[in-house]
Amino acid sequence: MKKISRRAFLPIAGLAPLSIPFLSVDKKEEEKTEGFPEILPNVLKKGDVVGVCAPAGCISELSEVKDFAHALRSMGFNVRTGKNVSLKYGYFSAPDKERADEFMDLISDKEVKAIFTIRGGWGCARILDLIDFNVIRENPKIIMGFSDITTLLNAITSRTGLVTFHGPGGNSTWNKRTLNYFESVIMKGERVSFSNIENEDQKVIVHSEGRASGYLYGGNLTVITSLIGSGYLPDFMGKILFLEDVKEEPYRIDRMLTQLRLAGVFSKVDGIALGVFRDCIAEEPNRAFTLEEVFDQHFKDIGIPVMSGLQFGHVKTKFILPIGVEAEISTSSRAIQMLGSAARK
C-alpha cells in the first residue's frame, strides 16, 4: 500500500511508497515487538464472557459497578468482575500487586474474551513492572479503557503487538454513537472512519494541513508524557499520535507538548490527532494563551497533518481508537480512517 511521506505529503505529487515497520523501545529482548506480527483479538460476540477490572483508581459509588455490569449484560455479554472493582485503597482500588494480579487473572482466564476497566484516575504505571507481557501475548483478548488506562494500552501494544482499544470505561457515557463505534470496531471488525458530528461547541480545527498514514498510538497527554524514557512506549517513527486531556491549564499543556518535542516525538510521527481537551482553560485568561494558540505555536509549521477537537477523550461521545492499527488522518476530511481491521472475525 502506498503511504504518504511525513515531510512531503504536500504537495501530493511525486510520493514514493513508505514502509513503516512495527518498532519498540523495549529493553527486554524477549518482550520486543520486532519480529512479532500484529496480533488481533477475536471479535466480541453476544454471549461472550467479559471481565471488568480496576487497575488504577477506585470508584466513587458502588452503583457505578452495578450500572456498568447491567449495561454490559444488556448488550448480551456475561460479566465477570474483578475482586478489586468495588474496593478503595486511598486513591487506588487496591495495592499495586493486587491490582496487577486482578488484571493478569482476567488475562489468563480462557473464558474471558474482553477486559474493560471501571475507571482511570492514577495507578497503571505503578503496576507495569508487575505485568507479564508474555502471558498477555499468549492470551490475546480485547482490552479497552482510556485516561490513565493509556499506560496499559500503549505498553501492551508496544511490547506484545496486541491491538488494544482507547475507548469508554465503566464510569463513561455509552451513548448511541459510541455504541455504534463499539459494535463496528470490536464486534464486527470493520474498518471505521472516525469523524465528528460537528456543532457550534465542537468543531475540528486544522493546525497543519495534509494527510498521512501510520500506526495509531496515544491517549491521555499527561500519561504519555509521564512515560517518556520509561521503555514502555513505542518508537514513534511512522506513527499517528493521538492525544487528549482534561482540566489542565494551557501552560501545562504547553509544557507537556514541549517535553514531547524535546524528546524527539514530534520529529518522528507522521501525523497528530488532538481530541477534546475538556475544561483546559486558564485561571487567569488575561495573562495566558488560549489552548488553540498553544496548539498553533507547536504545530502550525510542523510539516505534518495536525488537527484538534476530534471526539475522543473525556467527552460523552467517544471514538474507539485501536492502538497498533494502521490508519490515515486527513485534514481535508477531518477524519481518522482505519486502514486495517482491529479484531479478527
Q: Residue 309 is part of a domain; what is its CATH number?
A: 3.50.30.60
Range of the domain at 236: 192-338
Tell me the CATH number at 131: 3.40.50.10740
Give, in order, the Cα–Cα distances in Å from 310 to each of 11, 39, 169, 231: 24, 27, 18, 28
Total domains in the chain come to 2
199 and 329, same domain (yes or no): yes
Query: Does residue 178 share a domain with residue 240?
Result: no
* Domain identity same for 135 and 159: yes
Query: Is there a single domain that holds both residue 215 and residue 326?
Result: yes
**Cβ-contact 146, 313 below 8 angstroms:** yes
Q: What is the model's pLDDT at position 26?
A: 39
Asked if residue 143 and residue 260 are part of one domain, the reply reads no
- The residue type found at 324 is G
Same domain, 71 and 143: yes
Name residues whose C-beta falls within 8 Å of residue 255's C-beta, 6 or more positions apart in sequence: none
Rounded to whole angstroms, how far apart are CA atoms 118 and 103?
12
What is the pLDDT, as a whole number, of residue 24?
Answer: 37
By DSSP bridging, strand 211-220 and strand 326-330 are: antiparallel
Question: Are 199 and 108 in a shared domain?
Answer: no
Asked if the structure places residue 21 within a domain, the reply is no
Q: Is 70 a catalytic residue?
A: no
CB 50 within 8 A of CB 72: yes
pLDDT for residue 25: 37
Q: Is residue 327 included in any domain, yes or no?
A: yes
Given 187, 205, 222, the domain boundary residue is 187
Query: Residue 43 has what DSSP assignment?
Result: P
User: What pLDDT, on a 0 to 100 scale, did the predictor assign at position 248?
Assistant: 97
At 23, which amino acid appears?
Answer: L
Catalytic position from the list 31, 98, 102, 244? 244
Q: Name the percent of the chain in helix, strand, coil, to the closest 5.
A: 30, 25, 50
Asked whether residue 32 is assigned to any structural domain, the reply reads: no
Q: Which of 341, 327, 318 is nearest to 166 (CA)?
A: 318
Q: Are residues 205 and 173 in the same domain?
A: no
Question: 314, 326, 328, 330: which is the annotated catalytic residue?
Answer: 314
Q: Does residue 4 belong to any structural domain of this protein?
A: no
Our answer to whether residue 308 is catalytic in this structure is: no
Same structural domain for residues 77 and 124? yes
Do the domain assignments include residue 99?
yes
Whether 29 maps to a domain, the answer reads no
| Active-site hit among 24, 93, 147, 308 | 147
Same domain, yes or no: 57 and 175: yes
In a domain, 343, yes or no: no
Do 169 and 275 lie in a common domain?
no
Phi then psi dihedrals of residue 71, to 5 deg:
-65, -40
Distance of alpha carbon 63 from alpha carbon 60, whole angstroms: 9
Which ranges of the chain have pLDDT less than 70? 1-37, 198-201
Residues 268 and 159 in one domain: no
Residue 180 lies in a domain: yes
The residue from 166, 187, 208 where one domain ends is 187
**Boundary residue ending a domain (154, 187, 220):** 187
What pTM value is reported for the model?
Answer: 0.89
Of the candidates 138, 139, 134, which has an alpha carbon nearest to the alpha carbon of residue 112? 139
3-state secondary structure of 140: coil
